[in-house]
A and B are shown apart, each in its own frame.
Chain A
Amino acid sequence: MNDVPPDSQKLVDVESTPICLVHAEDGDWYAINDICSHEDFSLSMGEVWGLEIECPQHGSRFDLRTGKPNALPAVEPVAVYQVKVEDEHVYVDL
């Protein structure tokens, strides 16, 4: 938990699924599949804006809660996962 300060994100590997773990500015944790649905780029390299993450390559933005794209060029959603926080540890439910 301490690895990811608020308003930042980190790429984690959960059972060989790449996941972008986000500690959002609202203090909550979100887990979203790391691969942008538009082209094969890593969302964790992008920027978090409120409850959205922006792909660094073409600027597609995804809602961290639903995975839905809020800005083109992506049109397909990205998978999101349940996150649990227990004793300073963050758990992602695939």
Chain B
Amino acid sequence: MATTVPQINVGDDYKEKYGFFDPEKFVFKAKRGLNEEIVREISFMKGEPEWMTKMRLRSLDIFRKKPMPEWGADLSVIDFENIFYFLKSTEEQGKSWDDVPDDIKRTFDRLGVPEAERKFLAGVSAQYESEVVYHSLHKELEQKGVIFLDTDTALKEHPEIFKEYFGTVIPPADNKFSALNTAVWSGGSFIYVPKGVRVDIPLQAYFRINAENMGQFERTLIICDEDSFVHYIEGCTAPIYTTDSLHSAVVEIIVKKGARCRYTTIQNWSTNVFNLVTKRAVAYQDATMEWVDGNLGSQITMKYPSVYLMEPGAKGDVLSIAFAGKGQHQDAGGKMVHVAPHTTSTITSKSISKAGGRTSYRGLVKVHKGAHDVKSFVKCDALLLDDDSISDTYPYIECDENQVNIGHEATVSKVSDEQLFYLMSRGIPLVEAETMIVNGFIEPFTKELPLEYAVELNRLIQLEMEGSVG
């Protein structure tokens, strides 16, 4: 452990660190485009059970029938026929750090993974291209019965638990992109935390898109059994390519009685990626689900993490930030569906638009009949850094019960001249002063992140503010 830790210093040379091209090394590369044959091939290559093949084919059918969403961001430019739907980088899954291919290690190096590994990681499951290639799970966790696998392996090794939950939180027909994901999914994480087990260290996965026109359709399934706890961190970075990429993940989470799950995302796809993600959790009695969701990258993101509060005492939180620079549209938010009485939820959204970027908060608080004594509060703050940028707020509140307390508040503002003047009068240059104000604005989010991520996020904001990204 005495070796010097390579520092992740995003601020110095973003292009070199993030704009890299590792030589493509694919075992199998499906043809571009989407049809039954490709879907069968994907399922065959993975050696999947028949039910999964059937489900994939059915989902393809649903995907074709469903119209594109007519709201939100402009998705008309996506060319589904010009995307690779499956790649597999190496024959075998990496078992230990030594088995991990050097080029992937280099990638991790640039992302700062070794540092994290040394410091606190229990397990890393990194999705390189379309499959998870590396896993290491702390012995202790393994002994406790925690399962942390890539989703493909989980299907092989734990078919019964997999079949019980897969697609029950987000059925293929939920929306066009969940259907697409179910048809062509590959990789992602599978986590099962047994009753009463607390995983004290965050489980992490790093995702990357690394081939031109490379589609990324990971599928994550997390089951927190009664009274358990897990914190899962998903961080994305991607190199910049010239043609569009599509990232369309599905994340399903089941939080059982008394359990708590936190899911943290730092999304920093390159600004040509379409990031269309469905994330949904169900929380049972006295369970807590927390989505901590940061969206910095991508050309278009549409993502509304949701929590279905199914039994009394369930609690849901969404804490999100969005940053949209030039050419970016972050259409993000959260959904809280109160099915049971005595459930609570909060959504806190902070968004920043700059250089013509557009951020939209889109959210829903739904209170079903019989869900009395519900409390829900939504707060959205938007910061517009210049005159070309746009901010939208679309909060939907649907309440079918009267013993409830529901509130929504939103403000839209610019960086206050007084604050800027104050900082500049103390000799701080304009850009730096603005950066400080923006970092202050998103602090409620940053302080919920593990330290490394918080530092990285602040540096990314700094870069965005200097205009050196995208």
A/B: CB atoms within 8 Å of each other: yes
Q: Which residues of A contact B (CB under 8 A)?
A: 54-61, 70-73, 75-76
Q: Which residues of B contact A (CB under 8 A)?
A: 62, 167-175, 280, 282, 308, 310, 337, 339, 368-369
Least CB separation from A76: chain B residue:
B368
Q: A72-B169, A72-B174 are in contact. List 15 more A-B contacts (CB 8 A).
A: A54-B171, A57-B173, A58-B173, A59-B172, A70-B168, A71-B167, A71-B168, A71-B169, A71-B171, A73-B171, A73-B174, A75-B308, A75-B310, A76-B339, A76-B368
Cβ 8 A contact of B171, one of A61, A75, A76: A61
- Return chain B residues, CB-CB under 8 Å to A55: 173
Cβ 8 A contact of B173, one of A56, A70, A75, A76: A56
- Return chain B residues, CB-CB under 8 Å to A60: 171
Least CB separation from B182: chain A residue:
A59
* Contact (A59, B171) CB under 8 Å given A72-B280, A75-B310: yes
Cβ 8 A contact of A72, one of B171, B172, B175, B368: B171
What would be 29 A-B contacts, judged by CB atoms less than 8 Å apart? A54-B171, A57-B173, A58-B173, A59-B62, A59-B171, A59-B172, A59-B173, A59-B174, A70-B168, A71-B167, A71-B168, A71-B171, A72-B168, A72-B169, A72-B174, A72-B280, A72-B282, A72-B308, A73-B171, A73-B174, A73-B308, A73-B337, A75-B310, A75-B337, A75-B339, A75-B368, A76-B339, A76-B368, A76-B369
Least CB separation from A61: chain B residue:
B171
- Return chain B residues, CB-CB under 8 Å to A61: 171
Q: How far is the CA of A75 from the CA of B62 in the complex (A)?
A: 22
Q: How far is the CA of A73 from the CA of B174 in the complex (A)?
A: 7
- Return chain B residues, CB-CB under 8 Å to A73: 171, 174, 308, 337
Q: How far is the CA of A43 from the CA of B324 in the complex (A)?
A: 40
Least CB separation from B168: chain A residue:
A71
Q: How far is the CA of A22 from the CA of B282 in the complex (A)?
A: 30
